[in-house]
Structure 1
Amino acid sequence: MAEERAAETTGGGGAGPAGGAADPAADVYDVVVIGAGPVGEVLAGRVSEAGLSTVIVENELVGGECSYWACMPSKALLRPAAALADARAVAGARQAAAGELDAAAVLARRDDFTHDWDDSSQVEWLDSVGVPLVRGVGRLAGELRVAVETSDGSSRVLTARHAVAVCTGSRALVPDLPGVAEARPWTSRNATSASEVPARLAVVGGGVVGVEMATAWQALGSRVTLLARGEALLPRMEPFAGELVAESLREAGADVRTGASVTALRRPDPGGPLTVALADGGEVEVDEVLLATGRGPRTEDLGLVTVGLEPGDWLRVDDSCRVDEVPGGWLYAVGDVNGRALLTHQGKYQARVAGDAVVARFRGETAAGGRWGAHAATADDEAVSQVVFSHPEIASVGLTAAEAEARSVRTRVADADLGAVAGAALYADGYRGHARLVADADRGVLVGATFAGPAVAELLHAATVAVVAEVPVHRLAHAVPAYPTISEVWLGLLAQLRG
């Protein structure tokens, strides 16, 4: 649900003049938002709280992908496995955690977090802040206009006085493989909402969705085969991250194969098993296959041609999320749809930045751009934070060492074995993990950090603050971590950077 929960807004929209007899009625607002996921909710709440009349259009569930098919259900599936692994890693607790996960209870808890795919509580929040919801498919219809095919079969045209914000997110890409239609593969939506545990599951893709869902379903009782086309898992992160995750999945019983390209799917009996054919001539027989092979923007049916843009493209934006190629500066694209950083928290960050920029321009003020300006989503380029809720967890912010070098940054890199830290040894017997800091040697500040190990997600925000605030490394040495915690790893890492 959106973060900003204003008690009152001016709200309201006046009915615009109808066109000819065949034209839909036109409603007029200051801002029209297309898409009521977390990004659209935050942006709508932000501008409404500032006094701009705002309407939001949604064709599916208010709360979007994150609430019902991504962040919340996936982490609800993953958390019980992590809790059990933590218990089994500590002598004394291990003896009390001798059983297996109760898959039915895990799935029921997942359903609680999705409210059984009922969005009424999020609709109530929109009502509470005075943002009306129009249920239906919204499409751009020229400058400052959004045509809506409503869920009851009627049509409306919403007119914006000031801005239209596209917050339609992204969708799973399904590769055009032979047999894919008959195979009825899972996408990420199926993987997070399935009501039964498949006996055998193939996961195609070694990125974040692939490793998280392989981790979850292996723990729930599937025999998982993970097929990654590249030579490593999590290829956009530091190499040790994918190595540790692959090792852990194999220890849990998963069959992890890298350099494995899928060439076809076959399911001759609609109710039977399917075969995954590989480029090396091998085959894998499973009951379900998840294609976790990337995401594309939800812009294929958005009316982009009416404003001179190509359907299906990512929408290119400036740092305030205003679409570069549309004259007049009225169109914004916020969140996944602009391709900058496909993460819910980064999209909500963009929504705060863009919402404030919309309000500033509405008031005739200059939007404050520039590096780390109030109306610039600079973190999308320099300080993206991310947690992969695999086993072990991977937490990262900013640049990897390779990315920094590709930007011609003269780097200093510090590495540490997390298992050697007293707090980690207390956290889990035989704790395995690794940490890396990447510093700009010329400026003396951190530009990236990656942690891999149980419970490292809680280390991440300290690193994020250090990167964003550009705290000098010599000053960070005065930030003393409490003993005995896993955060003590900072002492050794900083000593390397200062040595």
Structure 2
Amino acid sequence: MESQTDEFDVVVIGAGPVGENVADRAARTGLSVAVVESELAGGECSYWACMPSKALLRPGAAVEAAESVVGVGDVPALDVRAILAHRDEVTHGWDDESQADWIADAGMTLVRGHGRIVAPRTVHVTSSALAEVDGARERTLVARHAVVVATGSVPVLPPVPGLETASPWGSREATSADEVPGSLVVLGGGVVGSEMATAYRDLGADVTLVTRSGLLGAMEPAAGEAVAAHLREIGVDVVLGAEATEVVRHDDGSVTLTYQSDGTTSSVTADQILVASGRVPRTGDVGLESLGIEAPRGLDVDPTGLVQEAEGHWLYGVGDAVAGITTTHQGKYQARVVGDVIAARHGDEEPAWGGPVPGPGAEPEPWTRYASTSDVVAQTQVVFTRPQVASVGLTEKQARDAGMRVRAVSFALEDTAGGYLMGADFAGTATIVVDEDRRVLVGATFVGPEAGEMLHAATVAVVGAVPVERLWHAVPAYPTVSEVWLRLLETYGL
């Protein structure tokens, strides 16, 4: 079996958007970088998550928005084949040639295969099913300075009897399906479950969503309630507070989910079942055990991305592989921070932001304190259901659980001048959570059409710790829905 050994300054395990960003930022200052990928360069978000799911969701949202406008005539029905074809265009037909070309053009080396850490600064790569590794089936990469784990996350199956053998869909199968099943059971009420229930109902499937609690449980309660109400409005059977007890795949290909709710046993049979019950960091097959590290819930890192348990200050973690990071954009931000840190510590040139970067174990400089603020306090998320849900920072409950003395105020989006212009069907809610001791926002949630486009102002307010008295002087334009900022502050008492 052929094998070869090569040295690079930095080795990044994972060529998703997070791995690509950390590699790019490190390589900009002259470091040689190898990026190891066992599947498609571009990762989960490009081919099976963010991009294809939004391609499936956008047509239904556009049709519903058009139907709500006064004076608009008949709106055409959705063309399912065209939607699936556009989804295929968005994913480049699951061909990563353009991503691989970008890596090469940026001066980095893409190594196809599965990478495992076998010793400090040493990654062993075995060839994947996609391609042999430069003619060799095995390759050893030795990093002079840093190894970065950017392996993302994987879905988990709940321990329901019969579920594993029923060959359920996961998010990958749901976003890449060639055909729309006549009926679909969605198990799970988080982001993936809520979005895919919406998309497949739009595409014509009869959909049942079954979840143990409410929808979008990590967000403000009103958000999940609004999404559940809309799903029911478009014909989804939403079953809350249900515990799945058994799954059976029948000889004819259909599948039955049995569940208990309020002491009653019920069942639903459909053509397909989608399990959307969460994801866990993909840290179990990276070779961390060779370093004596166990990280089932994600790597523990400092503000500069250094893995706390690794001796010698050479191992970094980013993205979903790190405890607490769960979105692509947050992972990419963290990747930019870590890439700049590695470049500053080991590169030939000063990075664009100008440093300085603390040495390993030293007290973080102000910019890494900002990074910690963004990671811990001000993470953002948009759920592309109808209505959209957009949030930053803490919910009221999370803030109180953290010991803060807070006050939450809400205002209806339809009661703004901009909302009134949108028509009678326009509705939504904006909520801010104010730390009463510091008089700054620590969280905000927007629920309504295109709510995601309203989020960044709140993100700036939370990250910047802008006093609410100062926010009052940020005058919103009239007549826009963003006038809700004025109304929120007036409701608060300014």
The match for 1:493 is 488
Which residue number in structure 2 is paired with residue 131 of structure 1? 108
The correspondence for 2:288, drawn from 295, 304, 328, is: 304
What's 1:184 paired with?
167
Judge which range, 344-353 or 310-319, deviates more: 310-319
Q: Tell me by how many angstroms 1:311 deviates.
A: 6.7
| Matched residue, 1:61 | 40
Aligned to 1:105: 82
Partner of 2:74: 96
Instruction: Identify the match of residue 189 of structure 2 among 181, 206, 212.
Output: 206
CA distance in 2, matches of 1:278, 1:372: 50
Q: Is 2:462 aligned against 1:467?
A: yes
The equivalent of 2:414 in structure 1 is 419
Match of 1:267 in 2: 249
1:116 to 80, 86, 93: 93
Q: Identify if the C-alpha distance between structure 1 residues 155 and 312 changes in structure 2 by more than 3 Å, giving closer, same or farther.
A: farther
Check if 1:165 corresponds to 2:143. no
- Distance in structure 1 (CA, Å) of the matches to 2:372 and 2:434: 22
2:373–2:463 contact (8 Å) kept in structure 1:
no
Per-residue deviation, 1:370:
5.5
* Number of aligned residue pairs: 474
Counterpart of 2:49, as a letter, is: A
How far off is 1:365 after superposition?
Answer: 5.2
Identity %: 52
> 1:281 & 1:62 partners in 2: Cα distance?
45
Give the whole-Å Cα distance in 1 for the aligned partners of 2:366 and 2:65: 41
Paired residues of 1:301 and 1:311 also in contact (CA < 8 A): no
The secondary structure found in structure 2 opposite 1:373 is helix
Go from structure 1 to structure 2 and tell me whether the alpha carbon gap of 1:389 and 1:45 turns closer, same or farther (over 3 Å shift): same
Superposed counterparts of 1:80-479, under 5 Å: 80-93=59-72, 95-97=73-75, 99-151=76-128, 152=132, 154-230=137-213, 232-269=214-251, 271-279=252-260, 280-310=264-294, 312-362=296-346, 366=358, 369=364, 373=368, 376-479=371-474
Q: Which residues of structure 2 form unaligned runs of 5+?
A: 348-355
Find the aligned partners of 2:272 and 2:238 in 1 and give their Cα distance.
16
Which secondary structure does the structure 1 equivalent of 2:77 belong to? coil
Structure 1 gap segments, 5+ residues each = 1-21
Distance 1:307 1:168 in 2: 17
Q: What is the TM-score of this pair, normalised by structure 2?
A: 0.93
- Give the whole-Å Cα distance in 1 for the aligned partners of 2:180 and 2:2: 50
Give the residue type in structure 1 aligned to 2:64: A
Q: Does the 8 A contact of 1:305 with 1:311 survive in 2?
A: no
Shift of 1:426: 1.6
Q: 1:155 to 1:375 in 2, by over 3 A?
A: farther
> What SS class does the counterpart of residue 378 from structure 1 fall into?
helix
Name which of 4, 26, 37 aligns with 1:47. 26
| Greater Cα offset, 457-466 or 302-311 | 302-311
Asked whether the equivalents of residues 304 and 368 of structure 2 are also in contact (C-alpha less than 8 Å), the reply is no
SS of the equivalent of 2:123 reads strand
For residue 32 of structure 1, what is the amino acid of its counterpart?
V
Q: What CA deviation, in whole Å up to 9, does each residue of 1:283-336 have, x standing for no partner? A: 101110110001012122111111111374521111222111111111011000
1:185–1:290: 8 Å Cα contact kept in structure 2? yes
Give the aligned CA root-mean-square deviation in angstroms. Answer: 1.6
TM-score w.r.t. structure 1 length? 0.92
The answer as to whether partners of 1:225 and 1:254 remain within 8 angstroms in 2 is yes
The answer (yes or no) to whether the contact 1:246–1:256 under 8 Å persists in 2 is yes
Aligned 8 A contact 1:205 1:292 in 2? yes
Q: Aligned match of 2:58 in 51, 72, 79?
A: 79
* Alignment partners' CA distance in 2, 1:258 and 1:62: 38
Taking the aligned partners of 2:408 and 2:294, their CA distance within structure 1 comes to: 42
